[in-house]
Each structure stands twice: as C-alpha cells, then as structure tokens.
C-alpha cells in the first residue's frame, strides 16, 4: 500500500486516525471546511501532515477515510467530488446517529432496521470501494488499543475484497484483530455496535472498552 492518506473530516475521529497514520509513517492530508480548528494540531503533527479542502484530501489519498457525522456523509462526499474517489478504498467510519435524545443511554439512528448508512452510500456512489471500520469504538482507542486480554476485534464489511485487504493491513498495523463479515449488507449489524459500545459510557461514564470476538 502506498503511504498517502486523505481524511475527509477534521473532528475527533479524523484527527485520531490522522495521528495514527502519521505515527506509522504515512503522509496525511486532512480535509476540512474550517482550517482554523486545526492550527494547533498542525503545529505538532510534523512535516508529513497537511490541512486542505475535502476535494484536495480525496485527490491526494491512495487510501481515504470518511470521518464525518453520519447525516453529513453525502454532503462531504459531494464536496470532495465523488468522481475523484472512484475505484479508491474509502474507510467509512460513520454512524447514522440521529438528533433525537437518548433513551436510557441508547442512541437513536435515522436508518431503518433492515438498511444501513453504508448501503445508502454504496448505492449512491457505486464506484467507490467503501469499507466499514472504526465505527464501533471511541477515538481514544482507535490506534494501538491496549488490553490485558490481547487485541480487540474490529468488525468490517465491504463489497470489494482488495479494498478490505487494504483496510485489514491498516487495522493490523494499528493493533487490531479483524473480523470480515462480508458484503455491505453486514453494515446493518456493524453500525448498531456503536449503540452498544456507547451505552456503558452514557449510563456509567465508562468508555475504555472494545469488542472481542472469541473463536474455538
């Protein structure tokens, strides 16, 4: 894999993953609509880090990360210029979290039970190779998570095997075991893991956990 990553989105997830890629020697461009929010981040990130527009980040990356709120995903891809991303691997970190209030610590989604945000994106942008990943853990644990029980599991899915292979390389580098759950429809199960992961946090302020798939 060539070591150039474009990140669409400059929030906590985008910056955390950018830091991870930089740590492992990648060149990184973070695309943002508000460059001022990244002034301090840029000062400490070294010569391989750049701040730019969504479009520039999409064009630059051999691998691209979509790290925006779920309800802004289509807008961000349109701003980036979806044609720029044709045939590229795009890590979809997004969750379809709605603006409705929590119910006893449980998030609400704006998707229907038998459909996912990832499917919506893949249907609309059919020539982009989306791979769902990093949506089921907090940004503080995305890179080099340390647990006594060993490596946690990242659940992924996507329609393109080569793209999933690219993402598995990244996940292995970042300290994760990988469970490939198949095609895009598996996002119907993977996206709600965000709900499950968040419940201990919202109820008990416990955020230092991740999922582990055990096999015999």
The residue to which tokens 């391989």 are assigned: 48
Model-level pTM?
0.97
Residue 36 belongs to some domain of the structure? yes
Sequence-distant (6+) residues with CB within 8 A of 103 are none
Structural domain boundaries, residue 39 = 4-204
In the sheet with 4-8, reading across from the earlier edge strand, the strands are: 49-52, 27-31, 4-8, 63-66, 89-92, 129-132
Query: By three-state DSSP, how is residue 132 classified?
Result: strand
Which ranges constitute the DSSP H helices of 115-214? 117-124, 161-173, 187-190, 193-204
pLDDT of residue 149: 93
- Which CATH number fits the domain that encloses residue 120? 3.40.50.720
pLDDT of residue 1: 61
Beta bridge partners of 64: 6, 90
pLDDT digit string (tens) for the chain, length 216 residues: 679 999 999 999 999 999 999 999 999 999 999 999 999 999 999 999 999 999 999 999 999 999 999 999 999 999 999 999 999 999 999 999 999 999 999 999 999 989 999 999 999 999 999 999 999 999 999 999 999 999 999 999 999 999 999 999 999 999 999 999 999 999 999 999 999 999 999 999 999 999 999 999
Do 93 and 66 contact (CB within 8 A), yes or no? Answer: yes
Count the domains in the chain: 1
Residue 175 belongs to some domain of the structure? yes
Residue 142 belongs to some domain of the structure? yes
Phi, psi of 53 (to 5 degrees): -85, 165
Residue 214 belongs to some domain of the structure? no
DSSP state of 129: E
Residue 210 belongs to some domain of the structure? no
Residue 19 belongs to some domain of the structure? yes
């Amino acid at each position: 894999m060539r070591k150039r990553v474009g990140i669409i989105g400059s929030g906590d997830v985008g910056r955390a993953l950018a830091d991870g890629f930089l740590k492992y020697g990648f060149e990184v461009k973070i695309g943002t609509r508000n460059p001022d929010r990244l002034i301090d981040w840029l000062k400490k990130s070294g010569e391989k880090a750049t701040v730019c527009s969504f479009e520039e980040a999409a064009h630059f990356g051999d691998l691209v990360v979509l790290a925006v709120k779920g309800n802004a995903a289509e807008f961000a891809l349109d701003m980036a210029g979806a044609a720029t991303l044709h045939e590229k691997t795009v890590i979809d970190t997004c969750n379809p979290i709605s603006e409705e209030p929590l119910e006893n610590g449980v998030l609400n989604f704006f998707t229907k039970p038998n459909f996912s945000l990832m499917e919506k994106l893949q249907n609309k942008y059919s020539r982009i190779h989306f791979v769902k990943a990093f949506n089921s853990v907090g940004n503080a644990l995305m890179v080099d998570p340390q647990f006594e029980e060993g490596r946690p599991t990242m659940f992924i899915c996507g329609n393109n095997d080569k793209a999933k292979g690219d993402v598995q390389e990244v996940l292995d580098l970042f300290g994760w075991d990988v469970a490939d759950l198949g095609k895009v429809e598996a996002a119907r199960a993977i996206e709600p893991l965000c709900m499950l992961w968040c419940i201990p946090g919202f109820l008990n302020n416990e955020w230092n956990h991740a999922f582990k798939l055990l096999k015999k």
